[in-house]
Structure 1
Amino acid sequence: MFSHHGRHDALSNIAEELRCHILSLLSSRDIICCALTCQTVYKTVKNSTELQYIIELGARRLMPIHPRPPNVSIVECLRILRGKANAWSSFELSVTKGLRIPLSFNPGSILISHQQLAFFVTYWHGYVESKIIDLRTCMPETASIPLCTRDGNYGNVVHRASVCSSIYIDETQDLMITVHLWRDNPTYQINFRAISTHKEHPKAHGSRLVLACRVPHNDYSEGFPEHRAIFTGIGDRLAFYSEAKLGLEETYQYWSLHVWNWHEGGQPDDVYALGIGYILVEIRFLTEEKLLALTSCYCIELYDVGNLSTIPQLQARFMLPVVPQTLSLEYPSVFHSTSTCEHLAAPDERWIWTTIPADRVICLRVHSPKSIFVISARLFFMDLPPTWFDAASTHGVAVPWSSWGPQNSRCFLQKSSPLFGVGGSRVIRPVLHDSSLRMHMTDFNPSAVARGIGKVIQDPTTLLASRYGFTQDVTTHLPYVEVVNNDRDFDFSLRRIILDEEKILIFTLPHTTASELPPVELTMKLTISLNRSGQWMSR
């Protein structure tokens, strides 16, 4: 705030209102730096609710993704923001509302985003049922009815000629995508439907046909291949992965990866990446420009998909210290973002923020030994040092575990329960205390660690390969803060934990009858259970 001649900068001499406006264009860190230069600017920052709000967002490592409602003041937004942070710090599982969900929905077919629950179930011949429940307005009687949306718009042709092989739902865009494999040729038909109207989505440009795989034609002489397809999306971007297994005596694995803008139309089959010899187990968008893939080679691949006119560019393979086994990637497929919130009505009672992408965490589930790796997403935003790469690896893009793993991850053994939920920078997992399970909330956000509300863990932990079956000793020391909920005990009837940035859904199998179940629970946390009469019940 001073010139080279020691005089006060002109910023301290202009009108207070103009000074406040100029400072509001800066980042939270820059605002704080300016406030430390002179008393005039310090008082401006201290007395401005708008600047305090920007600083609070920066301190919480959050970003707003919805315009502020005109009837909600900036003072109220600041109050709500601080209240949400304190609620997570105390980690209380309070309850206000109960829901009954049809048994046809298993826990794996339920998503949560923007105060809504999305349920769906698929059938063999392309028949899809779904239901959206608004958690803010629903009552037990409105949530207890069966599915109300059916995607059966394919007729007998689909029943004879195709099988529904994949489904993707993004309720923030009123979007349901079903993918059908035609039996008589290696193509998939991708159908874009609006959940609310059951018709073609208004932003789609007709159904598209996508080749299942770029497989050499002579290989089909050995029989029609086995196929698998995966979809994931973010905003207007979609990634479609398909694979085929060919061969009678030997099995050849081919796959193709397509990324395109589904709002713009055109064929996603024009630009694609090819692979052979291994498969992608799961794919997830990190941002619109970055795509993660968990592979059968026990690594996480990072693709640059920012330029849709070129094929996805493989940037790095992050090797994992695990032996051949079943792995799964836990990372939300639907994100809070400006593009997914733009159509939502301005919320009167809450403000929508989301964790900065680099501060989110990704979880890798390992089935033997039962453990989870919590990985900082910041790793995938870094300019990786050249010394990290193994020059002798294929294409020179392999990054050994020793280069990236210890400082960017935490490994937790899950002896008592393999379940956990991940959302934003937080992971919720049950831990055995005496004879019951209690929920532990671990927050890996650097600002949460710096505030130290809870038990801060910074010391490294080591799991020996000889004892637990890893390919090498696993030492991890990503810092986190941990808070334990001591108000409620759970047992081994837990079935699934779903977590977003505002609430938790805990699915359990209770030992009581439907009439004995307590009332529903919903505030920031929601617990859902399954009773023995065959219905979902939250409590």
Structure 2
Amino acid sequence: MNDPTDQAGKNAKLRKVEFLALAEELQSYILSFLPWQDILRCASVCKALRQTYISSSELQYIIELGGQGLLPVRIADPGNHTSVSQRLQLLRDKAHAWFQFNFHTHSFQTFSIEEQFHDVTISLADGHFCLWHRETEDSENWAKIVPLLPKSSEQTVERHWPPESLCPVPNAYIVDVYMDPAQNLIAIAYGVNDDTIQEGRFYVDLRTLDGDGIHPQAAGQTLFLSVHTAQDNHDLFTVMEDLQLKGFGRHLALQCCPVFNDVVSTPRVPWWLQLWDWQHSTRSNSNLSDMMVLQSIDFCFVGNDRLLLVSDDLKLYSIEDMSRQPQLLACYSFPFPVKRIQCFQPTTDIAHGSQMQMPAQQTMWTSDPEHRLLCCVVFHPSPRLAFAISTKIFFELDSERVGEKAVTFPWEKWGPTNARLFQDPWQVCVSGNRLLQVFPGGARSRYRIHMMDFSPLAVERRQGLGLVVKKPSTIEINELGKTLTTSLPYVEVVSDRVFDAIELIGMWVDTDRIYLAKMMDPPDDDPGDLRMDQLEVIEMSSGLSESLS
């Protein structure tokens, strides 16, 4: 009688022989359906499959994309004939350029925003600087969008909105402005002053960046709230504070937290967040509300259907069904109570799917939401701490456990292996898997930029450039009398150039460039009057620097 175990082994060997007997092109085609890690495993255990991998630009491109935490983007231009081998080489060259971090050769021109730096909210999106000036006692609000060093083939928007053009209705006051050049969208959150009381009701106006009409993909011109935003407590608060309008693709979200007259007796204040699918409805039942510690909350989108609430802990919500309140999926506890926190996430290399209004802005790849970096900066306890967190943990939930009851993960279960902790960074920026931080550079008021790349291929194939950090690192938090150990691997490169504080009053980063806001002539009479006199743009893909006037 034949041994069943022996027969199974023979069948497995036979299948292996049958696969290796296929033409190399067919082997490559079949392997291309595997995850990039499995392709590498196959190539490492079989000489024949390794040769197939070496001979196939397609397989190498899949691995390069996956290892860098990227997703391919379908190119709609029929005239684009960039071969896979060319894309592969370009992708490798771009990654390699970041490990050189050479700032020696650069030039810059003047780019003035003509206002105090601390009164202007500045964001970087799809190759554009988006600026919004908050109204003060001395000046009115305005908005501006400026393209930064575009290529001749790219479509751009350059526009300035004076106060009268921003206000959608009479007696309106603007609370926040969000711009998305990839979707040709400007969203304006505003309230309306009533003759009797300020009711605390807010609205969002949707327009195109390059025109004054309603956005063609919007369900309507105005988004309405489904909650009355602390109207029942209007006698307790003075102004609506911490109003933030954020977006991701078809989603928009407005957050509000009021400032109370008596902060001592109201340590926790009502907080709410309203979400819309602005392309399909002007009203939404998707909202969150709670009592929160003042100045201890932020939020961000994690992919197209998940929202992360950053407060005493990280709360992950599903926003796939916008007809109901977000569904709590999991809670990730911090190792200690936090009082002030801010979330930094990449926003300049995110694909918006097939709804993009400016096709010339499309690229060959985009950051993968499931393999991206998130940075949470905690300002108290002091000194400040930066948590670099891999977003993969938000997509590794057990599907059988999710849906009935939210899963709670203590810090010890998720933090040490999925995060890396840094102490007292002066500034922080995130792009894809890269984290840029500014730390003191030896002499007083002198700083260096540190680039940390957390992508798997950066750690494995740095080609002798940068410092690979795999060992756990421990940070002492004296104010709490405790230590924290984290071990998420990364490669670190430190800038060869040292900067003065006035050269780094602002910093932004995208997939190819670093943008440094500089104050060349600080005023003697008013040191607090920070003005961005120059913007230095460092082109990482070529090692050259450019600038904008």
Say whether the fold is shared (TM-score over 0.5).
yes
* 1:250-303 CA distance string (max 9 Å, x none): 5473233333311112412x23233235466221101122211222xx333222
* 1:47-82 CA distance string (max 9 Å, x none): 232222223223333222342752322221111011
Q: Is the 8 A contact 1:204 1:263 kept in 2?
A: yes
* 1:75-97 CA distance string (max 9 Å, x none): 21111011011111222235366
> What is the CA-CA distance between 1:525 and the residue it aligns to?
7.5
Matched to 2:500, the amino acid is: D
> What is the CA-CA distance between 1:38 and the residue it aligns to?
6.3
Q: Is the 8 A contact 1:67 1:346 kept in 2?
A: no
Matched to 1:288, the amino acid is: N
Answering whether residue 35 of structure 2 is matched by residue 27 of structure 1, we say yes
Q: Is the 8 A contact 1:291 1:302 kept in 2?
A: yes
Answering whether residue 345 of structure 2 is matched by residue 331 of structure 1, we say yes
Compared CA separation, residues 58 and 331, structure 1 to 2 (3 A): closer
Residue in structure 1 matched with residue 280 of structure 2 by the alignment: 264
Partner of 2:460: helix, strand, or coil? helix
Equivalent of 2:114 in 89, 92, 103: 103
Residue in structure 2 matched with residue 472 of structure 1 by the alignment: 482
Residue in structure 2 matched with residue 84 of structure 1 by the alignment: 94
* 1:403-459 CA distance string (max 9 Å, x none): 433332222222xx6212222111112333332322221122233222354212233
Tell me: higher relative CO, structure 1 or 2? Use CA pairs within 8 A at least 6 residues apart: 2
Equivalent of 1:421 in 429, 441, 448: 429
Compared CA separation, residues 325 and 402, structure 1 to 2 (3 A): same
Matched to 2:289, the amino acid is: L
Compared CA separation, residues 506 and 340, structure 1 to 2 (3 A): farther
Residue in structure 1 matched with residue 368 of structure 2 by the alignment: 356
* 1:195-232 CA distance string (max 9 Å, x none): 11132211112212214546574x45x46764343222
Compared CA separation, residues 324 and 49, structure 1 to 2 (3 A): closer
Answering whether residue 247 of structure 2 is matched by residue 236 of structure 1, we say no
Answering whether residue 205 of structure 2 is matched by residue 191 of structure 1, we say yes
| Percent identity between the two aligned chains | 25
| CA distance in 1: counterparts of 2:279 and 2:399, whole angstroms | 37
> What is the CA-CA distance between 1:378 and the residue it aligns to?
2.4
Matched to 2:472, the amino acid is: P
Compared CA separation, residues 320 and 43, structure 1 to 2 (3 A): closer
Matched to 1:431, the amino acid is: F
Equivalent of 1:492 in 472, 486, 501: 501
| CA distance in 2: counterparts of 1:247 and 1:461, whole angstroms | 43
Q: Is the 8 A contact 1:504 1:526 kept in 2?
A: no
Partner of 2:297: helix, strand, or coil? strand
| CA distance in 2: counterparts of 1:462 and 1:46, whole angstroms | 40
Equivalent of 2:319 in 305, 309, 320: 305
Residue in structure 2 matched with residue 532 of structure 1 by the alignment: none
Residue in structure 2 matched with residue 227 of structure 1 by the alignment: 240
* 1:101-145 CA distance string (max 9 Å, x none): 32337386333333333333344699532123142248xxxx9x9
Compared CA separation, residues 28 and 299, structure 1 to 2 (3 A): closer
> What is the CA-CA distance between 1:44 and the residue it aligns to?
4.0
Superposed counterparts of 1:157-236, under 5 Å: 157-158=169-170, 160=171, 162-184=172-194, 185-206=199-220, 207-213=222-228, 215=230, 217=232, 219=233, 222=235, 226-228=239-241, 229-236=243-250
Partner of 1:284: helix, strand, or coil? strand
| CA distance in 1: counterparts of 2:10 and 2:76, whole angstroms | 35
Residue in structure 2 matched with residue 391 of structure 1 by the alignment: none
Residue in structure 2 matched with residue 112 of structure 1 by the alignment: 124
| CA distance in 2: counterparts of 1:371 and 1:248, whole angstroms | 29
| CA distance in 1: counterparts of 2:429 and 2:495, whole angstroms | 15
Q: Is the 8 A contact 2:438 2:447 kept in 1?
A: yes
Equivalent of 2:389 in 359, 375, 387: 375
Task: Normalising by structure 1, report the TM-score.
Answer: 0.79
Residue in structure 1 matched with residue 466 of structure 2 by the alignment: 454
Residue in structure 1 matched with residue 526 of structure 2 by the alignment: none
Equivalent of 2:329 in 294, 299, 315: 315
Matched to 1:241, the amino acid is: Q
| CA distance in 2: counterparts of 1:155 and 1:90, whole angstroms | 47
Alignment length (residue pairs): 502
Residue in structure 1 matched with residue 6 of structure 2 by the alignment: none
Structure 1 unmatched ranges of 5 or more? 388-394, 530-536
Compared CA separation, residues 482 and 152, structure 1 to 2 (3 A): same
| CA distance in 1: counterparts of 2:169 and 2:95, whole angstroms | 53
Q: Is the 8 A contact 2:440 2:448 kept in 1?
A: yes
Residue in structure 2 matched with residue 534 of structure 1 by the alignment: none
| CA distance in 2: counterparts of 1:146 and 1:174, whole angstroms | 12
Residue in structure 2 matched with residue 390 of structure 1 by the alignment: none
> What is the CA-CA distance between 1:400 and the residue it aligns to?
3.7
> What is the CA-CA distance between 1:235 and the residue it aligns to?
0.9
Answering whether residue 20 of structure 2 is matched by residue 4 of structure 1, we say no
Q: Is the 8 A contact 2:71 2:366 kept in 1?
A: yes
> What is the CA-CA distance between 1:153 and the residue it aligns to?
4.2
| CA distance in 2: counterparts of 1:518 and 1:224, whole angstroms | 40
| CA distance in 2: counterparts of 1:519 and 1:121, whole angstroms | 18
Compared CA separation, residues 247 and 522, structure 1 to 2 (3 A): closer
Residue in structure 2 matched with residue 437 of structure 1 by the alignment: 447
Residue in structure 1 matched with residue 309 of structure 2 by the alignment: 293
Q: Is the 8 A contact 2:349 2:510 kept in 1?
A: no
| CA distance in 1: counterparts of 2:413 and 2:46, whole angstroms | 44
Q: Is the 8 A contact 2:349 2:431 kept in 1?
A: no
